[in-house]
Amino acid sequence: MNRFSAPDAALLFLRVTASVLVHGLPKALHYASQLDAIEDPLHLGKTLTLAFAIFAEVVCPLLMIAGIATRLAALPIMLVSVIALGLVHREWTLDQGQFAWMLLILFGTIAIGGTGATGSHCGRVGPGNGRFERSGTARPERRMRGEPCHI
C-alpha cells in the first residue's frame, strides 16, 4: 500500500487549508461592486487589477489544491499580499495586517515546499518536472506502482 509520509501529508493539508482561506470568490461573484471598490496602486487600471486579484485568489488556489504548478501558483497570492501591505494599506499596524502576513507565511511555505508526493506531477518522469532517464534522453518514463514521488 502506498502511504503518504508525514511531510507529504503536511504539505497537502497546508495547500488545501491555506487555499480555502483566500477570499477571492466574493470578488468574482460581485465583480461590478468590487470594480468600484478596488484600489489601483500600480496604475494598471481597475479592470486589470481586479482580474489579477481574482486570478490570484480564485484560480491559483484551485491549482494548488489540485497540485498543479503549486510553487508557481503560490506566487500571485504572495504578490497580492505584498502589494496590499506595502502599497495599499501602509498605515496598517501588524495587528491590522496579520491576515496578509499569515497568507505570506502560508503561501511562502507552499512555494518553498511544493506539493510533496501528492502533486499532479507524480507518476511520470520527464521534461515536465526536470527529471530525465539515465540514458540522457528526454523521453518520459513511468514510475513503478508504489514508488514514491520526491520532486
pLDDT digits (tens, 9 = 90+) for 28-76: 999 999 999 999 999 999 999 999 999 999 999 999 999 999 999 999 9
Q: Cell digits for 10?
A: 503536511
For the range 83-88, what are the long-range contacts, defined as Cβ-Cβ under 8 Å and sequence gap of 24 or more? Answer: 83/41, 83/42, 87/41, 87/42, 88/39, 88/41
Can you list the positions of beta strands (E) in the chain?
124-125, 141-142
Predicted confidence band of residue 4 (pLDDT cuts 50, 70, 90): confident
Domain definitions of the chain by residue range: 6-119, 121-151
What pLDDT score does 48 carry?
97
The answer to whether residues 81 and 100 touch, using CB atoms and an 8 Å cutoff, is: yes
Dmax of the chain from CA atoms?
58
Is the pLDDT score of 133 beyond 80?
no
What pLDDT score does 77 carry?
95
What pLDDT score does 61 carry?
94
Is the pLDDT score of 151 beyond 50?
no
What pLDDT score does 121 carry?
57
pLDDT digits (tens, 9 = 90+) for 19-28: 988 888 899 9
